[in-house]
């Protein structure tokens, strides 16, 4: 099977995983930094539990998944920066994101015995 056939599934799962982690960390940030209500910690905990569960659904070994996940996390975090924080990523963000995604592709789809 060609490596690129599995790319949409793996990428989608990584994006969901990253969103769960970011939301799980962003809500406590709102509570601690912006004085938002404490009840936001409950959905944050649920989101972080979802994040941990989603990591178990990835097809590769845990350490490889964690390493590759970092590349997608960088991408989703930069989208969050733009869409939620209202700060447009610059060319250096784009370069770093491209390098991180290239690393993810190598880790997840390198031919292995």
For position 36, what pLDDT does the model report?
A: 97
CA 18 – CA 24 distance, rounded (Å)? 10
In the prediction, which pLDDT does 30 show?
Answer: 97
Where are the alpha helices (H) located in 2-90, listed in sequence order?
7-34, 41-55, 62-83
13 closest CA partner among 104, 102, 80, 85: 104
| Terminal Cα-to-Cα distance of the chain (whole angstroms) | 14
For the chain, the domains span 3-109
Structure tokens at 88: 């447009």
**pLDDT per position in the chain (113 positions), as tens?**
465 666 788 788 888 999 999 999 999 999 999 999 999 999 999 999 999 999 888 777 788 888 888 888 999 999 999 999 999 999 999 999 999 989 888 887 888 77
Name residue, tokens 């989101």.
Answer: 47
């Amino acid at each position: 099977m060609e490596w690129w056939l599995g790319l949409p599934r793996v990428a989608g799962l990584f994006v969901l995983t990253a969103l769960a982690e970011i939301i799980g960390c962003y809500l406590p940030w709102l509570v601690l930094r912006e004085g938002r209500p404490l009840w936001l910690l409950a959905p944050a905990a649920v989101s972080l539990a979802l994040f941990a569960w989603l990591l178990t659904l990835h097809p590769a070994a845990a350490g490889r998944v964690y390493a590759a996940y970092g590349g997608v996390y960088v991408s989703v975090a930069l989208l969050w920066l733009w869409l939620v924080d209202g700060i447009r990523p610059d060319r250096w963000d784009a370069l770093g994101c491209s390098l991180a995604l290239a690393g993810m592709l190598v880790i997840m789809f390198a031919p292995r015995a």
